[in-house]
Amino acid sequence: MMAHILTGDDTITMSVKFLLKDIPDKLSVSESQIRMALRQKKYVAKWILLNFMDSNTALVSVRVPRKSKNIDFTINVQGHTVKAIKLSSVEEEEFELALNSSTAKMFSSISTLRQVVEEAITEMKHVEKCDMFQGRVGDIKYDLQKSTSKSYEIYPFGSRVAGLGFKHSDYDVFIDMGGYYRGGGETHRSNSVQYIRDLIRQVKTFTDPILIPRARVPVLKVKHRTTGIQCDISTLNGIGVENTNLLRNYMSDSRVRFVATGVKVWARQLGLTQAGVGPGSITSYCMLWLVIFALMQDCPPAAPSVVAVKQSCKGSNLFIDGWDCSFCNSPVPKLKNNKSEIELLIHFFSFYGSMTIPDITSNVISPFLGKMIPVKEFVKTNSLPNEFENYKKQARSDRFYEMRCDSAMCVQDPVEQGHNIAKTVEDWVVDRFLKLCKTTTTLVENSMSPHV
């Protein structure tokens, strides 16, 4: 098989999408294997959606020189030839907006939908119960403590701790190396992910260290040898721990947890939060706040705004790097919404399915306030409502930058309010998310609405 022939100026590239078909079940092909097979043919994958229509297909986008000829995307994986079909522009849109067989089956009836979501919840509860941070010999906390220092405080956070992690989900870990839970970690050389990496390299309990020092929050990625679980280690501050506490309190309402789990399964099936899509995808954390925000918009609201949680908080005072976290451990008030979990899940899809790209790009989604704020008003920091006093105070400080609002989607972190948790989401992902919500709403109306 020939790779493409380069002609003209190879620095000018174009995106090409194609469908990998008839992947043998026994291969269990991973995203990295497809990338490697394409790289052998001099192609670089932009993103990959595994299990696209079913377990035997994958949708792939690559960048190739605009003047390439004789393009052949057929690849060899584990000794098997996997055929590729180049898609026309019309087919691209049809394929990207199609629900795969797993999603179509999931929403075929209320009983099937409930079964799929409850099976996922059962797995998540088991993951939460099998806590790898109890300090027992061989668990993650024990090995981290042994690999670094017994004097360090180690805090797990993220989806596993919030009760929303699957068995293969990563563990997010904050290591406090010297009283930096409330902030200040970035000013101390010894309190760095580089230093943790150097310590971990001296032992064999963690493997495959990958350092990402220039991220907004510097991270060290390692793999725990005993459990095979990926760990993302940070040393900056404890704000991720407090964010997780807040999310877990929202999940105390079983209906909210059901909707969050249902959307998480749906998004994974359709590649909206899949790692193969790359940095342009919607993070699981962002998707959770999109879920909670949608529930805030029901009539009456099914979840309170974060500011309502804050106003109900009493007797606490916790600030991390200037951000008010005093309400993150407070119970979430119960509201007078009596809809079932199925009705609320359907509400999520109809809420975003009724939106357009301009609706998203021209507004800031603020779970903190529980409202969408026009971008042109949000950027006028001093004119924001009094509820944003913490944000306005931070904006006046020398070490803080106002929230970036020029991305395809703006979702304000309800705790670290200067952080747009959707700032890296690409416009085609937003468009696909809205259209898939609409497609799912239509499917639900056709197959389930008489029984809801």
Q: Exposed/middle/buried for 401, CB within 10 Å: 0-12, 13-18, 19+?
A: exposed
- Residues 6+ positions from 57 with CB-CB distance below 8 Å: 19, 20, 21, 22, 23, 51
Q: Which residue has the tokens 């090995």?
A: 143
Q: What's the pLDDT score for residue 157?
A: 94
Q: What's the pLDDT score for residue 287?
A: 97
Q: In what order do the strands lie in the sheet with 58-65?
A: 44-50, 58-65, 13-21, 80-86, 75-77
Q: Which residue has the tokens 């760095």?
A: 192
Compute CA distances 282 → 160, 350, 405, whole Å. 18, 19, 16
Task: Look at residue 399 and tell me whether its pLDDT is greater than 60.
Answer: yes
Residues β-bridged to residue 363: 374
Q: How far apart are CA 452 and CA 448, in angstroms?
A: 6
Q: How far apart are CA 201 and CA 199, in angstroms?
A: 5
Task: Look at residue 189 and tell me whether its pLDDT is greater than 50.
Answer: no
Neighbouring C-beta atoms of residue 311, cutoff 10 Å: 14
- Residues 6+ positions from 37 with CB-CB distance below 8 Å: 75, 76, 77, 82
397/132: higher pLDDT: 397
CA torsion sign for 96, 102, 107, 108 is: positive
Helix count and strand count (H, E) for the chain:
16, 15
Residues β-bridged to residue 77: 80
Q: Which residues of 344-361 are buried (b: 16+ CB within 10 A; e: fewer)?
A: bbbbbbbbbbebeeeebb
Task: Look at residue 7 and tell me whether its pLDDT is greater than 70.
Answer: no
Average pLDDT over residues 117-133: 89
- Residues 6+ positions from 356 with CB-CB distance below 8 Å: 434
* Cβ atoms of 349 and 444 closer than 8 Å: yes
Task: Look at residue 277 and tell me whether its pLDDT is greater than 90.
Answer: no
* Cβ atoms of 259 and 341 closer than 8 Å: yes
Rank 133-142, 180-189, 403-412 by mean pLDDT and report only the highest: 403-412
* pTM higher than 0.75: yes
Confidence tier at 449 by pLDDT (50, 70, 90):
low
- The first and second tokens of residue 436, run together, are 């898939």
Task: Look at residue 305 and tell me whether its pLDDT is greater than 70.
Answer: yes
Cα angle value 86/92/96 (rounded, 5°): 125
Residues β-bridged to residue 48: 60
Task: Look at residue 124 and tell me whether its pLDDT is greater than 80.
Answer: yes
DSSP states along 15-62: EEEEEEE---GGG---HHHHHHHHHTTT-EEEEEEESSSSTT-EEEEE
Task: Look at residue 182 and tell me whether its pLDDT is greater than 70.
Answer: yes
Q: What's the pLDDT score for residue 190?
A: 43
Q: What's the pLDDT score for residue 86?
A: 80
Largest CA distance in the chain: 70
Q: What's the pLDDT score for residue 42?
A: 80
Q: Which residue has the tokens 């909206």?
A: 272
Q: Domains along the chain?
A: 3-95 (no CATH), 134-180+185-236 (3.30.460.10), 254-448 (1.10.1410.10)
Q: What's the pLDDT score for residue 346?
A: 95
